Chain A
Amino acid sequence: DSGVTQTPKHLITATGQRVTLRCSPRSGDLSVYWYQQSLDQGLQFLIQYYNGEERAKGNILERFSAQQFPDLHSELNLSSLELGDSALYFCASSAHGGRDSYNEQFFGPGTRLTVL
């Protein structure tokens, strides 16, 4: 158990809908990262937040957005869902922001999103 929790574990929805994935980082960790794992694209970094502010951005679609709240939990919002958005979405957390040095990222179990 990494200490990172993600809810829900599974989510099934229809095309065009909007969903919210939630992540609670390890106690004391300030950074949260979101990754997408799909058969087509593999594991891809989406976005990082550090202490409430966006720190780094990866291959995140404009239909997707994220935020980190004052209690440090994070939400990933996916809208106008398409079949291709079906994937496993991982959240990870680390102690700090990692701008100048690496901080180990601890991964949650993921949320499996199925878009029908």
Chain B
Amino acid sequence: AQSVTQPDIHITVSEGASLELRCNYSYGATPYLFWYVQSPGQGLQLLLKYFSGDTLVQGIKGFEAEFKRSQSSFNLRKPSVHWSDAAEYFCAVARTGTASKLTFGTGTRLQVTL
């Protein structure tokens, strides 16, 4: 079965600093990969997704992620964090062929200091 690991439970960055959130997955083939963001009291919003092709994917709100097959990673990055980016971020994976079921990581809570 596929699984997702987000090793950082909580990260604090200063506004304007760069951000990288780590995600490692376990799956026998190339899965579908996603990053979602959850703001307090809100549902989950899709930031970006990777299915195939270019390993660097661009998302909304200035986020990007890079798929590295050799490292089984799909890290999320942003060059300059804004205070409004404070939220919880979830990496998720879906098996190709049964793409409906999302398996989520445990999440990383991002705090932004001014």
Contact = CB atoms under 8 A, between A and B. Distances in A.
Interface of A: 2, 4, 31, 33, 35, 42-45, 48, 55-56, 58, 90, 92, 94, 97-105, 107-110
Contact of B43 (A2, A44, A97, A98): A2
Contacts of B107: 42-43
Contacts of A107: 36, 43-45
Contacts of B46: 104-105
B103 interface: yes
Secondary structure of the B contact surface, majority rule: loop
A49 to B, nearest CB: 10
Contacts of B44: 90, 92, 107
A33 B100 contact: yes
Nearest to A105: B102
Contacts of A100: 97, 99
B100 to A, nearest CB: 4
A109 B105 CA distance: 19
A108 B49 contact: no
A28 to B, nearest CB: 17
B43 A90 contact: yes
Given A99-B100, A102-B94, 18 more contacts: A2-B43, A2-B45, A44-B104, A45-B101, A48-B101, A56-B98, A56-B101, A90-B43, A92-B44, A98-B98, A98-B100, A99-B98, A100-B97, A102-B49, A102-B99, A104-B46, A107-B45, A109-B42
Interface of B: 32, 36, 41-46, 49, 51, 90, 94, 97-107
B98 A102 contact: no
A88 to B, nearest CB: 9
Most buried by B among A42, A44, A58, A100: A42
12 contacts: A4-B43, A31-B100, A42-B105, A43-B104, A43-B107, A45-B101, A45-B103, A92-B43, A92-B44, A98-B98, A98-B100, A107-B43
Contacts of A99: 97-100
